[in-house]
């Protein structure tokens, strides 16, 4: 479980500024001095060295443009997306990789960017096709090529890896302009790229969303379940009560926002009504039990300080940080930030959202 006093979640890679750090690694490998290039983008070496430091989206966009110019690589973002380890993006990879279908995985990714990232907006549309749209907040489209190309091609890679198929989009559209589509793009995608479009969008055939996740990475799933068991050990009786069985079934579903009584009842081999009666015999309802489970797990996450508050909200299945904050105030009589500030569990600096 790791060092004494630390949660196993300390091993989850940070996602904050991941692209900037990948770019810096390329610059260093090429023997280029990093400090003056970071300065041109308004960044400092300490921000790159600290995996918990947040990097403003404009600065990251500018850094990738600078890196591409220095490396004389007009396809810098595309090339970075080809060979980086997907696990480096952290939670946005681990949670989707333990989903059941690509539609579930994309929904998790959309919820992550909505609740955690205030600089990037991800939208998933499964109504007519499988469409993945990506936009920045507060960044002009013409100011960026490389970061947007990185993310679009990385998303295609992730969909392929999760489904273990050679998915070919029907179309890829980008807002920025290029004189001509590089042949490398078509070779990788198997489709044309539309530049100077009205959106940044990957469009797959509709059936793609129902593809199963077959290359699941269970790393985070196992960590979360173990951590939940550790956090709730003193709250749950040793004997196999209905309560303990429900909590065990809830654990892997909470991060996906799918801890619902019907699904839990099916897993336990009961009807929804039978499960409700069994819980009632122990003086509980499903909604109360789920609420208690989230409350205890939230307090455990906050006490260890491994995750940002926004990430904790996501891992507990919420779609908005404000919803989590209101729930936590009801549970603990204080906000998550106040709770964390008052209960540091180790000597490391407490990380805020």
- The answer to whether residues 229 and 179 belong to one domain is no
pLDDT of residue 95: 76
R_g over Cα of the chain? 22
> Do 337 and 230 share a structural domain?
yes
- If asked whether residues 176 and 310 sit together in one domain, one would say no
Lowest mean pLDDT among 149-163, 291-305, 307-321, 339-353: 339-353
Query: Over the chain, what is the mean pLDDT?
Result: 84
Listed residues 210, 243, 265: the one ending a domain: 210
Backbone angles phi, psi at 153, to 5 degrees: -75, -35
Over residues 195-210, mean pLDDT: 94
Cβ atoms of 159 and 189 closer than 8 Å = no
Query: Residue 158's domain is classified under what CATH number?
Result: 3.90.1520
The domain containing residue 72 runs over which residues? Answer: 11-210
Looking at the fold, whether 266 and 121 belong to one and the same domain comes out as no
Residue 161 and residue 247 share a domain: no
Are residue 165 and residue 273 in the same domain, yes or no?
no
Using pLDDT thresholds of 50, 70 and 90, give the confidence band for residue 351. very low
Nearest to 122 by CA among 154, 87, 80, 97: 154
Q: What is the mean pLDDT of residues 78-102?
A: 85
272 vs 288: CA distance, rounded Å: 15
31 & 121 share domain? yes
- Asked whether 264 and 246 are in contact (CB, 8 A), the reply is yes
Strands 171-173 and 193-194: parallel
Q: Examine the domain organization and report whether 205 and 235 are in the same domain.
A: no
Does the residue 135 lie in any domain?
Answer: yes
Give the mean model confidence (pLDDT) for residues 104-114. Answer: 88
Based on the domain organization, do 47 and 65 belong to the same domain?
yes
**What is the reported pLDDT for 343?**
54
Note whether residue 348 is domain-resident. no
Do both 199 and 67 map to the same domain? yes
Question: For residue 194, what is the enclosing H or E element?
Answer: strand 193-194
Residue appearing with tokens 């749209």: 133
On whether residue 2 sits in a domain, the answer given is: no
- Residue that terminates a domain, selected from 210, 232, 259: 210
Q: What is the pLDDT of residues 60-75, one digit of tens each?
A: 999 999 999 999 999 9
Indicate the pLDDT class of residue 90, thresholds 50, 70 and 90: confident
| Nearest Cα residue to 26 out of 59, 73, 62 | 73
Mark which of 190, 210, 230 sits at the end of a domain. Answer: 210
9 versus 308: the higher-pLDDT residue is 308
Residues 190 and 288 in one domain: no
Do 98 and 231 lie in one domain? The reply is no
Number of domains comprising the chain:
2
Query: What pLDDT score was predicted for residue 279?
Result: 94
Read off the pLDDT band of 136 (50, 70, 90): confident
- Is 35 exposed, middle or buried, given 0-12, 13-18 or 19+ CB atoms closer than 10 A? exposed
Is residue 46 domain-resident? yes
| Residue 4 domain flag | no
Tokens 């990037």 identify what position?
A: 120
Is residue 35 in some structural domain? yes
């Amino acid at each position: 479980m790791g060092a004494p006093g630390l949660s196993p979640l300390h091993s989850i890679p940070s996602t904050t500024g991941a692209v900037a750090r990948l770019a810096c690694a390329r610059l260093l490998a090429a023997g280029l001095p990093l400090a003056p290039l970071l300065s041109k983008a308004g960044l400092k070496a300490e921000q790159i060295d600290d995996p918990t430091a947040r990097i403003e989206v404009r600065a990251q966009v500018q850094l990738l443009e600078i890196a591409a110019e220095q490396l004389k690589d007009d396809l810098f973002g595309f090339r970075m997306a080809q060979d980086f380890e997907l696990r480096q993006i952290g939670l946005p990879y681990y949670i989707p990789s333990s989903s059941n279908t690509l539609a579930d995985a994309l929904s998790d990714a959309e919820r992550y960017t909505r609740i955690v990232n205030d600089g990037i907006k991800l939208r998933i549309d499964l109504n007519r096709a499988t469409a993945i749209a990506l936009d920045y907040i507060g960044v002009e489209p013409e100011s960026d090529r490389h970061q947007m190309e990185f993310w679009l091609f990385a998303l295609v890679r992730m969909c392929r890896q999760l489904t273990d198929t050679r998915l070919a989009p029907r179309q890829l559209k980008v807002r920025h302009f290029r004189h001509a589509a590089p042949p490398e793009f078509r070779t990788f995608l198997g489709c044309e790229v539309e530049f100077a479009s009205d959106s940044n969008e990957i469009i797959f055939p509709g059936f793609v969303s129902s593809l199963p996740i077959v290359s699941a990475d269970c790393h985070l799933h196992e960590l979360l379940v173990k951590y939940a068991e550790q956090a709730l050990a003193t709250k749950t009786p040793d004997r196999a009560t209905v309560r303990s069985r429900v909590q065990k079934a809830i654990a892997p579903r909470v991060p996906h926002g799918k801890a619902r009584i019907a699904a839990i009842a099916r897993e336990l081999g009961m009807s929804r009504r039978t499960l409700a009666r069994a819980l009632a015999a122990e003086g509980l309802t499903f909604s109360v039990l789920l609420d208690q489970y989230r409350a205890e797990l939230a307090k455990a996450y906050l006490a260890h300080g491994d995750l940002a508050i926004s990430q904790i909200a996501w891992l507990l299945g919420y779609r908005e940080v404000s919803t989590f904050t209101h729930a936590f105030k009801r549970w603990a009589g204080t906000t998550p930030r106040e709770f964390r500030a008052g209960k540091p569990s180790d000597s490391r600096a407490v990380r805020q959202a």
